[in-house]
Amino acid sequence: MICAALLHDAIEDQGISAAMIAGLFGPSVATMVVEVTDDKALPKTERKVIQIAVAPNLSPGAKLIRLADKISNVRSVAASPPVDWSQERCIDYIVFCRKVVAGLRGVDAALEGMFDQAADAAHEVVNGRGGIMTEPKPKPKPKPKPAPEMLTESELAALRQDAKEASDFGQKAFAHLRPSPI
């Protein structure tokens, strides 16, 4: 699992193939990496909706990796947010992470508690009460936001089924790389 955690962004950010990961680290590592890989060909808003929808159906190992990644990400938003992110965008991202983690719950209570503490602290920091962002940026006049696209229950069920099938496919696709018993 440690290898999969270290490689969790390798496919989407580095262009490394799942087959290469499987060949170097084994099929179970490749399967977990595939499970937590976002399809960068999709728009960011769609990737976020999918990440929330499939979270409950990830394998336990993939859930742990996703949970640890969200802990790291909310801590980063609090400590050193991207320079082009507004206060509102930082808050929106923390809210998104909370939605993803809601679907991961039940895999590791200690990590879930760490996420909750990190997300709460990040909210405080971003809101200007935590000492890192001591001078909150002035709020621009709010622009009307379009209504978010909501998925129907049948669309959510289809996404969850797709995630399960992707996980099953990954396990089957890389099964030939498993070492044979001696």
Structure tokens at 13: 């950010």
Active site residue 13: yes
Q: CA-based diameter of the chain, in Å?
A: 68
Name the active-site residue from 12, 69, 112, 116. 12
Report d(CA 146, CA 10) in Å as an integer.
Answer: 33
Report d(CA 59, CA 104) in Å as an integer.
Answer: 10
Look at phi and psi of residue 141 and say left if phi exceeds 0, alpha if psi is from -120 to 50, else beta: beta
Name the active-site residue from 13, 46, 120, 168. 13
Active site residue 46: no
Catalytic center residues: 12-13
